[in-house]
Chain A
Amino acid sequence: MNMSDFTNLAAELIDAFGEPITGPWNDDVFSKFAIKIFDYQYRTNPSYAQYAKKRGVTPSNIQDWKEIPPVPTLAFKGFPIISGNLGEVETVFTTSGTSRSSHQGKHHILDLSLYRASIMGSMKHHFYAEQSPTLLALVKDPIESPFSSLSFMLGEALHTLSKGSGGFYVDKDNRIQYEELVRHLRELELGKGSVLFAGTAFAFVHWADWLKEKGLCFQLPKDSKIIETGGFKGRSRVVSRSDLYEALANLHGIPVSSIVSEYGMTEMLSQFYEKTAIMSETGEVKHLGYQPPPWLRSLVLDVNTLAPLPAGKEGVLCHFDLANLGSAVAILTEDVGVALRDERIRLVGRLSGSEERGCSLAMDVFCSNQR
């Protein structure tokens, strides 16, 4: 195994992720990168090589990124999925684990700079193109939660893109720091700079409940946004997405269209973002589909046969994330979705999910017991 292969390929990818995003990459560009990564992973992960070979796919016969055999998310719960050397692992991100799983999922990361580049590329495009908002994160500080990929992501954004302006408002015991957050939001209300307020869906449910109970609301500065990171089911109480968005918009003095949904998972180093629009004629709230960065693409597969389905058909989602150079580029999820135009997808249902990235199950238990 040649570590310089990894280093060279990672450097190429980091450069590509740093280019301004103008839309999906040309299919040839994506395919060329994906096949190079498959070739690298085939050479450096012997069990994956056998798995791919059994499916008739090898570096010598692969033609298209869509042919790369995907690794199921469940495999991350079994043993390390590493394309490279276990000794070179820089960090490990874990899922919080749910009652459905007997083991915790682990994503071994060979090089965090790829994750950083993916985060920066996407977040710059979506949230920092014209401004440098203060970032308030309704998750634990990455120092308290070093194995949370969501905490890492928001930590990077806070320190690099928001230049340290902001903070984390969930403590090490999973308690939301309500009073401190109110104080910070009140200060920000008086200023001119915009706010980026990010957290798991369920942390927001508890936050909204608390604000209502206390009779508090805010008028955040113009262009402020909220990022909600999925996961509504299986919690102490199920709240519909539209109810949560309406409550968050009203409580923070922003339009519903300023709420963006993020879809990511511990097993992937890139994320999708979905914008919300309000139809001018009807006032109806519309979710516009999850948009990947150019280095992430998805296929919708037939649930029974795992054969690709055409746009508009519902099936299980398989993601191809070029940032996953050190693990598995193709990930078979448990999530159900539909392919839309411009590489966007509509999520229909989630079995695995971003809630595991933020440990919100633990937080939900705590908050429910407190109430």
Chain B
Amino acid sequence: MNTSVFDAYELPDGIKCPQMLNSVNVGEGFSVQYPSLNDSDKDVLAKILVEGNAAIKNMPVSEIIQSIGKVSERFMDQDDPLRHKALEIMVPTAGISIEMAETILAGMSADWTKTKLTELLEKEFRIPAILDGFQRIDSGRSQMASGFTFNLTVGSGTVPGVGVTALIRALLLKSSILIKPGLGDVALPVLFARALKEESEVFEKCLAVAYWDGAKEKIGDEILGKAGVVVVYGSDETIRSIRSQIPKTIDLVAYGQRLGIGLVGREALSGMKALKTAQRVAMSISIFDQKGCVSPQILYVEEDGEVAPEDWVELLASAMERLEEKLPLGVLNQQEVIRVQQLRAATELQEMAGTGVSLYEGKHKSWTVIFDPELSLKWSDCKRAVYVKPIPDLTVVKTLLANNENCLQTVAMAGAFSRKEDIANDLSQVGVTRLTSFRQAPWPKPWWHHDGRSVFQGLFKLIDIEDISD
């Protein structure tokens, strides 16, 4: 059988083509190839990125946006070979279906356009030209925003596209960036970087993408010694490991694992609305095959609506099944199949123990819905698996979610919109930083305060010139 190979790196001119390449199989007949960078390679790479920063620092931010916008348009153009290549590589590397790859690419690239990025900078900086030089911002001072010379970003690989978003943020701040994407997100950062370099030679020496196995290989002092900021997306273990590698003087911006919660108010459970709610919730769960930090893992459903939670769960199960036809699950790997077997058999035993638990499952291990009257926070690490828990009133959610501040973030909601602010007030006290609808949950706006942080927080410095009168 022929094996397709994807080179999961894009290194700047000036670094020799790596002599040693490693490879990892990501699916039948598909492997990812990546460089084995020795200490000297890493040293040269970091030096190129630091020296190459001068060119992007001199480029007006409007031109940076222009170049990025052109690449994002190519990802949206149905006829562009770049888009075809991206989809082709996303499927095996992220373990998703082609339908899901198309959905994700459309959703992600819509936020990388010239318009969206201009809007983003206007929201975050009021005067985006602050990134080009000192601007009068109020009486008494002028100000400039300056990204770190060298940004090192370690991606997680759970959601394709997150790496590109991180890469764009660094470039908007005129930082050089080395991004090590997670294996599930190698396609887009590499292809994006290649395309961006075609747009302007400025990006030749300030942009590098290289995958390596973070569990086996450390980042290395040659790179860390020159980084101004390290950004990490990943599990608690990954963050802990990277934190232990970096000197204390370097800023670390970490985005850890989060648990998505869904709330279904009784207003969303009346007549036809109950069905519509189930469809929207099913979509919210299924996007990214539920691997996003924004994906709902546990649903709390209010009692005393027209449709009872234990009946609504059946509508949800049907919606999950129908969605599987439209937006199929990708190919599960061995560990994922084992986890589904475990989840289903364990739930079946619980069902038989008279605990009130009911199991609903899709064909071919594609989705699992578990109705569980026991209200404590319980989730599964399987794809498209959700716990549905009946509650007397949404006001009890605050108590149920308490003491989990470090793992909460997005809460998606249906119905109860008149109670939205009260609920948000309650949830803000237990660590929730985003309350949204199920429809919007998978697609946070570009200005989203990820884990409560502003978009560029920790990635740049503000420089003030105070008015001097004498």
Interface residues of A (CB under 8 A from B): 46-48, 50-51, 54, 70-75, 77-79, 81, 99-103, 233-238, 303-304, 306, 316, 332, 334, 336, 349, 351, 365, 368-369, 371
Question: Contact partner of B378 among A50, A103, A304, CB < 8 A?
Answer: A103
Tell me the nearest residue of chain A to B372, going by C-beta. A78
Question: Contact partner of B334 among A70, A99, A303, CB < 8 A?
Answer: A303
**B103: interface (CB < 8 Å):** no
Query: What separation, in Å, do the CA atoms of A186 and B237 have in the docked complex?
Result: 35
Assess whether A316 is in contact with B377, with CB atoms less than 8 Å apart: no
**B381: interface (CB < 8 Å):** yes
Give the residues in chain B near A100, CB-CB below 8 Å.
Answer: 381
Assess whether B349 is in contact with A48, with CB atoms less than 8 Å apart: yes
Give the residues in chain A near B381, CB-CB below 8 Å.
Answer: 100-101
Query: What separation, in Å, do the CA atoms of A74 and B350 have in the docked complex?
Result: 11
Question: Contact partner of A368 among B240, B335, B338, B379, CB < 8 A?
Answer: B240
Assess whether B352 is in contact with A351, with CB atoms less than 8 Å apart: no
| Cβ proximity bits B331-351 to A, threshold 8 Å, 1 near / 0 not | 000110111011101111110
Most buried by A among B338, B347, B350, B380: B338
**B354: interface (CB < 8 Å):** yes
Minimum C-beta distance from B68 to chain A (A): 34
Question: Contact partner of A234 among B237, B244, B339, CB < 8 A?
Answer: B237
**B355: interface (CB < 8 Å):** yes
Assess whether B346 is in contact with A77, with CB atoms less than 8 Å apart: yes
Give the residues in chain B near A371, CB-CB below 8 Å.
Answer: 244
Minimum C-beta distance from B315 to chain A (A): 25
Minimum C-beta distance from A240 to chain B (A): 9
Minimum C-beta distance from A38 to chain B (A): 15
Give the residues in chain B near A369, CB-CB below 8 Å.
Answer: 244
Query: What separation, in Å, do the CA atoms of A351 and B349 have in the docked complex?
Result: 21
Given contacts A99-B236, A99-B257, 15 further A-B contacts (CB under 8 A): A47-B353, A48-B352, A70-B345, A72-B345, A72-B346, A78-B347, A78-B349, A78-B350, A79-B355, A102-B377, A236-B244, A238-B216, A303-B341, A332-B342, A334-B339
**B235: interface (CB < 8 Å):** yes
Query: What separation, in Å, do the CA atoms of A65 and B341 have in the docked complex?
Result: 21
Tell me the nearest residue of chain A to B256, going by C-beta. A99
Assess whether B337 is in contact with A303, with CB atoms less than 8 Å apart: yes
Tell me which residues from 216 to 243 in chain B have a Cβ below 8 Å from any Cβ of chain A: 216, 235-237, 240-241
Interface residues of B (CB under 8 A from A): 215-216, 235-237, 240-241, 244, 257, 334-335, 337-339, 341-343, 345-350, 352-355, 377-381
Give the residues in chain B near A72, CB-CB below 8 Å.
Answer: 341-342, 345-346, 349
Assess whether B241 is in contact with A236, with CB atoms less than 8 Å apart: yes
Assess whether A75 is in contact with B378, with CB atoms less than 8 Å apart: no
Minimum C-beta distance from B158 to chain A (A): 13
Assess whether B350 is in contact with A79, with CB atoms less than 8 Å apart: yes
Query: What separation, in Å, do the CA atoms of A237 and B380 have in the docked complex?
Result: 26
Minimum C-beta distance from B343 to chain A (A): 6
Assess whether B355 is in contact with A75, with CB atoms less than 8 Å apart: no
Give the residues in chain A near B345, CB-CB below 8 Å.
Answer: 70-72, 74-75, 332
Minimum C-beta distance from B190 to chain A (A): 25
Give the residues in chain B near A73, CB-CB below 8 Å.
Answer: 342
Assess whether B341 is in contact with A316, with CB atoms less than 8 Å apart: yes
Tell me the nearest residue of chain A to B336, going by C-beta. A303
Most buried by B among A47, A103, A349: A47
Given A72-B341, A334-B342, does the pair A102, B378 have CB atoms closer than 8 Å? yes
A selection of 17 A-B contacts at a CB cut-off of 8 Å is A47-B352, A51-B348, A54-B352, A72-B342, A72-B346, A78-B349, A79-B353, A100-B381, A102-B377, A103-B378, A235-B237, A303-B338, A304-B337, A306-B341, A332-B342, A334-B338, A368-B240
Query: What separation, in Å, do the CA atoms of A77 and B350 have in the docked complex?
Result: 11
Given A77-B346, A233-B215, does the pair A102, B379 have CB atoms closer than 8 Å? yes
Assess whether B236 is in contact with A75, with CB atoms less than 8 Å apart: no
Give the residues in chain B near A365, CB-CB below 8 Å.
Answer: 240
Give the residues in chain A near B215, CB-CB below 8 Å.
Answer: 233, 238
Give the residues in chain B near A103, CB-CB below 8 Å.
Answer: 378
Query: What separation, in Å, do the CA atoms of A103 and B346 have in the docked complex?
Result: 13
Assess whether A75 is in contact with B349, with CB atoms less than 8 Å apart: yes
Most buried by A among B343, B345, B354, B377: B345
Query: What separation, in Å, do the CA atoms of A78 and B337 have in the docked complex?
Result: 20
Give the residues in chain A near B349, CB-CB below 8 Å.
Answer: 47-48, 51, 71-72, 75, 78, 81
Give the residues in chain B near A349, CB-CB below 8 Å.
Answer: 335
Minimum C-beta distance from A371 to chain B (A): 7
Query: What separation, in Å, do the CA atoms of A70 and B240 have in the docked complex?
Result: 36
Given A47-B349, A47-B354, A77-B346, does the pair A351, B339 have CB atoms closer than 8 Å? yes
Given A47-B354, A77-B346, does the pair A236, B378 have CB atoms closer than 8 Å? no
Given A47-B352, A235-B237, does the pair A75, B337 have CB atoms closer than 8 Å? no
Query: What separation, in Å, do the CA atoms of A81 and B235 have in the docked complex?
Result: 30
Give the residues in chain A near B353, CB-CB below 8 Å.
Answer: 46-47, 79
Give the residues in chain A near B342, CB-CB below 8 Å.
Answer: 72-74, 332, 334
Assess whether A74 is in contact with B346, with CB atoms less than 8 Å apart: yes
Query: What separation, in Å, do the CA atoms of A103 and B372 have in the docked complex?
Result: 14
Given A99-B257, A234-B237, does the pair A75, B244 have CB atoms closer than 8 Å? no
Query: What separation, in Å, do the CA atoms of A100 and B338 have in the docked complex?
Result: 14
Give the residues in chain A near B339, CB-CB below 8 Å.
Answer: 334, 351
Query: What separation, in Å, do the CA atoms of A282 and B257 have in the docked complex?
Result: 46
Assess whether B240 is in contact with A236, with CB atoms less than 8 Å apart: yes
Assess whether B338 is in contact with A336, with CB atoms less than 8 Å apart: yes
Give the residues in chain B near A78, CB-CB below 8 Å.
Answer: 346-347, 349-350
Tell me the nearest residue of chain B to A232, going by C-beta. B215
Give the residues in chain A near B334, CB-CB below 8 Å.
Answer: 303, 336
Assess whether A332 is in contact with B341, with CB atoms less than 8 Å apart: yes
Query: What separation, in Å, do the CA atoms of A304 and B338 have in the docked complex?
Result: 8
Give the residues in chain B near A81, CB-CB below 8 Å.
Answer: 349
Give the residues in chain B near A237, CB-CB below 8 Å.
Answer: 241
Give the residues in chain A near B379, CB-CB below 8 Å.
Answer: 102
Please name the 7 residue pairs, one residue from A and one from B, whose CB atoms are nearest each other, closest first. Answer: A47-B353, A75-B346, A74-B346, A47-B352, A74-B342, A50-B352, A72-B345
Give the residues in chain A near B343, CB-CB below 8 Å.
Answer: 74
Give the residues in chain A near B244, CB-CB below 8 Å.
Answer: 236, 368-369, 371
Give the residues in chain A near B257, CB-CB below 8 Å.
Answer: 99
Give the residues in chain B near A234, CB-CB below 8 Å.
Answer: 237
Most buried by B among A77, A102, A236: A102
Tell me the nearest residue of chain A to B380, going by C-beta. A102
Minimum C-beta distance from A298 to chain B (A): 15
Give the residues in chain B near A102, CB-CB below 8 Å.
Answer: 377-380
Give the residues in chain A near B335, CB-CB below 8 Å.
Answer: 334, 349, 351
Give the residues in chain B near A235, CB-CB below 8 Å.
Answer: 237
Minimum C-beta distance from B336 to chain A (A): 10
Tell me the nearest residue of chain A to B343, going by C-beta. A74
Give the residues in chain B near A334, CB-CB below 8 Å.
Answer: 335, 338-339, 342
Minimum C-beta distance from A232 to chain B (A): 10
Give the residues in chain B near A316, CB-CB below 8 Å.
Answer: 338, 341
